[in-house]
Structures are given as C-alpha cells and as structure tokens.
Homo-oligomer: A and B are copies of this chain.
Amino acid sequence: MATYKAPVEDYLFVLHDVLRIQELDRLPGFSDLTPELTRPVLEGVARFCEDVWQPLNRIGDEEGCRLENGAVRTPTGFAEAYRLYCEAGWNKLSAPEEFGGAGLPGLIGIAAGEISVGSNAALSLYSGLTNAALATLHVTGSPWMIEHVMPKLVDGVWTGTMCLTEPHCGTDLRLMKTKAAEQPDGSFKITGTKIFISGGDHDLSDNIIHLVLAKLPNAEGKYTDDLSTVNFFLVSKSHIDPETGRLSHRNGVAVAGVEKKMGLKGNATCVLNFDEAVAYRLGGNQSGGKSSSAAGMSGMFLMMNRARLGTGIAALGVSEAAYQNSADYARERIAGKSEKGSTKPHAIVSYPDVRRMLIKQRSFNEGARALGTWVSLLIDTQRCSPDTEERKRCGELAQLLTPIIKAYFSDGAFNGTNAAVQIYGGHGYIRDNGVEQFVRDSRIYQIYEGANGVQAFDLVTRKLAGEGANGFASLLAEIRNVAAECDRDGLREYSEPLLAARDVLTRAVDWVGAKADHKSPYDVAAASYDIMNIFGAVVIGLMWARMAHVANSKLKLSEGDPEFLNRKLVLARYWMQRELPMTHGLFERATLGADGMMDLADVAL
C-alpha cells in the first residue's frame, strides 16, 4: 500500500527562507504570515490529508464512480471525507473572508492544494475546480451570484465545474456547437452536449455550478464559427432563485454518462446534456450593468489560467507521492551486493542507476515546488500590490511562466511516477503496491487545460510577443540577480551553469523573434516543444540557485537543520550539472526549424 507524508518542511523553507513572505508587509495580509501562522495551517491540512484522504486513494481507484438512476455515486468514503475537509476549512484557506473564507493569500491555498492532491488526486479535484470557478465568479458574476452563489462555493456545500469541451472539439472554441438563446427576462437557455466534465455530477454537494461556454446567434439569428459569438454562462444543476438564493427544481442538465478512464477514477468525468437549461451570462459588472461577451470570456481565460497553474501543481503532488514511495522501497528492497566489493546484500538504493532516478525525481519535485510557489506569489502580488509597476511586472512574469508550469511540471511528474514504478520493478506493475496508480493518475495532467503541445505553442508565440517580451526581460533580470547573489558568496558552481543555460534560452528566444530568418512558417511551432523544455530547465535552475544560496547562508550561520540544508545543495548541484546542460542539444534541435519534419504527406503518416 502506498503512503504519503506532506512536504510541510519543504514548504516552510520555500515560503519563509527563500521567498521570505513574512517580510512582504506591503502586500495586504502578508505581515501575518509568519511561520507561527503557516506551520500550524500546513501541518493541519497535512495531518488531515494523510489520515483521512490518503487511505481513500486506492479505494477511489478500485471502485471508480458510477451512474445510478441518472445520478453519479462517488467511491466509498469520498462524500464524508469531502465534508470533513470543508468543515475543517481546508478548502477555503485562500477564499475571501467576506464570503466565509480564511482570507489567506493565494499561495497558502496552493500549497495546501499540492498536499491535498498528493494524498488523493481524484478527491482533491472536486474542490480544486470549485476554487477555479469561485475565482472566475468573483470577477465576472452578477451581484446576485456574488451574494448567493459565492458563499455556497466557498463553504463547499456547492461545487463548481468548467464545461468547455464538446465531442468534436476541444482546443478550438470556434467549432463549438452548444447554443445559447436569450430569453425575454435577460436569462438564456442553453442546449448542447459537453464532454470530459470533471466533477460534472456527484454526491458530494447539494448543488453544482456549471460554468459553460456556448454560442449566441449573430444578428441574422445564425450560429457561426466566429469566436466572438462564444460566451460564458452560469448554469446551476438545480434552479436558484436570484432573489433569495434558494434552490428549487432541477434545471435542464442531465448526466448522459460517466467516462471509464485510465486513471483518476475517483473523480467523475461526465458527459452532460444541456436541454434548454436556464443560464445566466457571465461578465456583468458587479453594479449590475449589462454583461459583455468579452468580460465573460476574459473570466473564462482567468479560470483557465488558474486551472493551468493548478494542473502543474497537482502533477507535482502526485509526483511527490510517487517519489516518496519509491525512495522508501529503494531503501528497503534487498538485492545483491553493493559495488564496494562487500559480500553482504544491500538495498537497491545503493545502486547508482536507482540513485540516478531518485535524485532526478527529488530535484525536479523540490525545484518545481519552489517555482510553483514563487509564481503563486507573483499572482498574489499582481492582485494586491499597492504598486502599479510591481503589479504589472508580476502579472507579466506569471503569464509567461504559467504554460511552463502546466507543461513542464506535468511532463516531469509523469516521468517521475514512471521512475517510481521502474524502481519497484515487477512490484510496481502490479496494482497492490499502489505505485502504478500514480502513473495512470498523473497521465491526465499532460492533457488537461490544453495539451502540453498547445502550452508550448502558446509560450513561444503569444507569451513571448507583446507584453510577453516584458515578462521575459523580467525573468532575465531575476536570473541576473540570483546569479550575482551566488557569485558574491562564491557559489559559482550554481551561478555559472545557470548563466550558461540562460544564454541558451536567450538565443532560443532571439531565434523565435527573428522571423525573417525562418525558412518556413512552421519553424517556430516545430521548435516550440524543445524551447518549452529549455525554459522549464532554466526556471527550475533559477529556483535551485536561489535555494542553494539560501541554504548556504543558513549553513554558514548555523541556522536550521544541516541535513536538510545540505540536501538542498546536493539537489541543486544535480540540476546544475545534469539537467541544465541538456538545453544545448534542445537548442540545436529547435533551431533546425521545421525542415524535414513536415515532409511526409499527410496520407502517408
């Protein structure tokens, strides 16, 4: 049976030693964020998830969700465990106090989120999506939604979904067929089929708030493939009286099926049929003015961005759980003698190739955790800094880094879960030990919220153009600063590889920008995945240099746990020596352009 221990000490190190959030007085709410506050919060959610959620992880995988008389039943224990989680307040750490939340900055909620996922990825997704819906509603909801829906979602007695994908289309919203028709009272009726709706129906909550993309007819009353006709709506599972917030009869949303999936089986992935379902357009301003299509869609993109960050963090959560189990197993599994010529059998952790897999997993996980937390802080700063310039700068950096977190984290996590299975050998392939579940569960994160190829394309096109150029300049400045800090303390073993990889990245970005040099219009797209991987290695390298610098300083001052801090230096060195230099090969390949890659006739592929 798999086990899980939440990485609380690691989070405290990132929050307080690396990011020093307790000193960010200028950000509302941050001056309270001392270790005396964050430690009990993180230890609390950790203990709850380890004790209550983790034991249900395997059960969720074995039982899955099933459709009975039109309603979805989640696995044994899920509903009760969800209720206890909400009652303890772990779902609402970062929700606004005015709606019943704890009002902590977003990065605390995201740290708790990783812990929830690490203990039970399928169960955590119900509240993860609710939080994404919450954030969107907060900025795009009409006053009655803010008044009546927000508190229910914060409390967790209602949950949320995102209804985007349709049977024939995912990424390309223009092809969408779900239709919205305006009613005389200003509401809408929505008709169409949505697929792959996570938490689309279940028995955890009294009501479900679906946030739905649908098309409005054009001036001639026709539905076209024009993106500007796509709008964003709220559809409640049961009718809500906008005056009182009271629930009444069921709305026109029916579950047509629950998908059988590779993994994440405890989360119900539904096909939903909307049949003249009553809907309300999102994008109204909160003083009750008429809603606009553009405002609603920007809310949808806000939700998607949150979900992309959340997907990366979730992948990390599963990767961490997989790592822990494989490290435990490697220490316990006896096989063969060690290389030193001893005749006594040793555990497989003494084999260099097993060590290679473990150190890679751990260096990736801890680097990713620091990066994810930093980006969460950037988003918090963008939201609430009193300094306009800082808000802008942090927003641009977060925009740039979001697709990297989504794609690079989910790829790295999938590789990490597979390394865990490999370390277990045949014992990893059988279901009893619970590690192959991590592979199946984590596989989805490479697909969710825009497949990783789409993230890479978004990164090298939109995220590097226009405002993106500012974000990249800020990233380079950050690297320069961190490298200079390392240099000042004589830590060139971290700064030099980082700066070398930074140069590779800069050349790659210059190549992307030099449009005239491209032989083919496909060049940049063909290079996008390799360039995303260069970005990922460099930004995790940046975090490792920061962490190494902090660990080194603390060691010199004899502060903190020396074993913990020395381990950071070892893991940082691993990333600098063995991952960053691989960017050279990626660069060479990326800048070949599309030549030779588009040559096969479509029919012959």
Q: Is the CB of B447 within 8 A of A422?
A: yes
State which of B261, B263, B353 has its C-beta within 8 Å of the C-beta of A457: B353
Q: A605 contacts the other chain (Cβ, under 8 Å)?
A: yes
Complex Cα distance, B335 from A428, in Å, reads: 37
Q: A336 contacts the other chain (Cβ, under 8 Å)?
A: yes
Question: Which B residue's beta carbon lies closest to that of A448?
Answer: B426
Q: Is the CB of A430 within 8 A of B260?
A: yes
Enumerate A318-368 residues with CB–CB distance to B below 8 Å. Answer: 327, 330-331, 334-336, 339-340, 345, 347, 349-359, 362
Enumerate A589-605 residues with CB–CB distance to B below 8 Å. Answer: 589, 592, 594-605
A594-B352 contact given A259-B430, A432-B260, A521-B339, CB 8 Å threshold: yes
Complex Cα distance, B443 from A317, in Å, reads: 22
6 closest residue pairs by CB, A with B: A353-B453, A585-B585, A352-B526, A352-B525, A262-B436, A172-B336
Q: A382 contacts the other chain (Cβ, under 8 Å)?
A: no
Q: Is the CB of B528 within 8 A of A353?
A: yes
Q: Is the CB of B598 within 8 A of A529?
A: no
Q: Is the CB of A447 within 8 A of B428?
A: yes
Additional pairs, 6, CB under 8 Å, beyond known A353-B453, A585-B585:
A170-B426, A225-B345, A262-B440, A355-B526, A356-B526, A581-B589
Q: A218 contacts the other chain (Cβ, under 8 Å)?
A: no
- A133 → B minimal CB distance (Å): 19
Complex Cα distance, B604 from A602, in Å, reads: 51
A-B contact pairs, 14 of them (CB 8 A): A168-B334, A170-B426, A172-B336, A174-B336, A175-B334, A260-B430, A262-B430, A339-B522, A339-B525, A358-B600, A359-B600, A429-B443, A563-B604, A567-B600
Complex Cα distance, B331 from A347, in Å, reads: 49
A353: chain B residues at CB < 8 Å are 453, 456-457, 525-526, 528-529
Q: A88 contacts the other chain (Cβ, under 8 Å)?
A: no
A429: chain B residues at CB < 8 Å are 261-263, 443-444, 447
Q: Is the CB of B260 within 8 A of A354?
A: no
Q: Is the CB of A605 within 8 A of B349?
A: yes
Q: Which of A262, A422, A582, A598 has the most CB of B within 10 A?
A: A262
A222: chain B residues at CB < 8 Å are none
Q: A157 contacts the other chain (Cβ, under 8 Å)?
A: no
- A148 → B minimal CB distance (Å): 32
A347: chain B residues at CB < 8 Å are 602
Complex Cα distance, B172 from A350, in Å, reads: 14
State which of B269, B336, B453, B522 has its C-beta within 8 Å of the C-beta of A422: B453
A605: chain B residues at CB < 8 Å are 327, 330-331, 349, 355, 358-359, 362
A421: chain B residues at CB < 8 Å are 262, 443, 447
Enumerate A563-589 residues with CB–CB distance to B below 8 Å. Answer: 563, 567, 570-571, 573-574, 577-578, 581-582, 584-585, 588-589
Binary interface profile of A, 463-478, with partner B (CB < 8 Å = 1, else 0)? 0000000000000000
A358: chain B residues at CB < 8 Å are 600, 605
Question: Which B residue's beta carbon lies closest to that of A570?
Answer: B599
Binary interface profile of A, 431-467, with partner B (CB < 8 Å = 1, else 0)? 1100010011001101100011100110000000000
Complex Cα distance, B351 from A418, in Å, reads: 28
State which of B261, B357, B581 has its C-beta within 8 Å of the C-beta of A431: B261
A589-B584 contact given A525-B352, A529-B356, CB 8 Å threshold: no
Complex Cα distance, B358 from A446, in Å, reads: 17
Q: A481 contacts the other chain (Cβ, under 8 Å)?
A: no
Complex Cα distance, B563 from A104, in Å, reads: 63
Binary interface profile of A, 150-187, with partner B (CB < 8 Å = 1, else 0)? 00000000000000010011111011000000000000
Complex Cα distance, B603 from A603, in Å, reads: 55
Q: A196 contacts the other chain (Cβ, under 8 Å)?
A: yes
Question: Which B residue's beta carbon lies closest to that of A454?
Answer: B353
A522: chain B residues at CB < 8 Å are 339, 352
Q: A425 contacts the other chain (Cβ, under 8 Å)?
A: yes
Enumerate A224-274 residues with CB–CB distance to B below 8 Å. Answer: 225, 259-263, 269
State which of B225, B349, B452, B588 has its C-beta within 8 Å of the C-beta of A581: B588
A169: chain B residues at CB < 8 Å are 334-335
Enumerate A533-586 residues with CB–CB distance to B below 8 Å. Answer: 563, 567, 570-571, 573-574, 577-578, 581-582, 584-585
A570-B261 contact given A334-B168, A589-B578, CB 8 Å threshold: no
Question: Which B residue's beta carbon lies closest to that of A596?
Answer: B573
Question: Which B residue's beta carbon lies closest to that of A430?
Answer: B259
Q: Is the CB of B331 within 8 A of A601?
A: no
Q: Is the CB of B428 within 8 A of A172?
A: no
A354: chain B residues at CB < 8 Å are 453
Q: Is the CB of A335 within 8 A of B175?
A: yes
